[in-house]
Amino acid sequence: HPTAMNYCSHCGAPVSLKVPPGDNLPRHVCDRCGTIHYQNPKVVVGALATWDDKILMCKRAIEPRYGCWTLPAGFMENNETCGAGAIRETLEEAGARIELGPMFSFVDLPHISQIHIIYRARVLDLDFKPGEESLEAVLMTEAQIPWDEIAFRSVTYTLKAFFEDRRRGQFDLHTTSLSIPVPDTYR
């Protein structure tokens, strides 16, 4: 299911949705220059950064999920490693400098063609403040996490896995695939 596209980004002519020869999925193909505009999943990278027993959380100042809480995370840039992206996003959204630890969660979201990757990290100093995309950036204990106001299911999954691992004293890599929730009537 490609995202809608009307015009070729190379030559400006209209594009048509069709299966190119030798392919098996519909693509946007330029009617004039023939360029095939492939679309592939996007990668979101972020950090679960701790200070003592607290987690660095951001309150979103942008849609989607304005006003809800999330871990600092965002889309990878071209020519960037996943880890560098997580550090950059944490600096942009929480104004916080971190030391990156191991990859902690890897979440497939096939229905929106995204992959969310969260690293464990350590907050290096308390001199941080929210960036333009955040209303607040705060350190929270487990008891302070507003579970009903978490912006994304991948963040809820990551936080729950983190607290469970911390309780048992061993951190593993957690992977899952989250798809569209099945309505109750179909269960």
- C-beta of 24: minimal distance to Zn ion in Å? 22
Q: Report CA torsion sign: 160, 161, 163, 164.
A: positive
- C-beta of 11: minimal distance to Zn ion in Å? 3
Looking up tokens 């896995």 gives 161
Looking up tokens 């106001």 gives 149
Q: Which two tokens stand for residue 93?
A: 């959204």
Per rule CB under 5 A, count of chain residues that contact Zn ion: 8
Instruction: Write out the binding residues for Zn ion, residues 163-182 only, by CB under 5 A.
Output: none
* CB of 146 closer than 8 Å to CB of 137: no
Pick the stretch among 11-19, 65-73, 125-133, 158-166 that binds Zn ion (CB under 5 A).
11-19
Instruction: Write out the binding residues for Zn ion, residues 98-157 only, by CB under 5 A.
Output: none
- C-beta of 3: minimal distance to Zn ion in Å? 17
Among 2, 7, 11, 135, binds Zn ion (CB under 5 A): 11
Among 10, 18, 111, 129, binds Zn ion (CB under 5 A): 10
- C-beta of 66: minimal distance to Zn ion in Å? 37
Q: Which residue from 86, 74, 125, 119 is spatially nearest to 101, judged by alpha carbons?
A: 119
Q: What is the DSSP annotation of 57-118?
A: EEEE-SSSSTT-EE-SEEEPPTT--HHHHHHHHHHHHH---EEEEEEEEEEEEGGGTEEEEE
- C-beta of 29: minimal distance to Zn ion in Å? 9
Instruction: Write out the binding residues for Zn ion, residues 29-48 only, by CB under 5 A.
Output: 30, 32-33, 35
Q: Which residues bind Zn ion (CB under 5 A)?
A: 8, 10-11, 13, 30, 32-33, 35
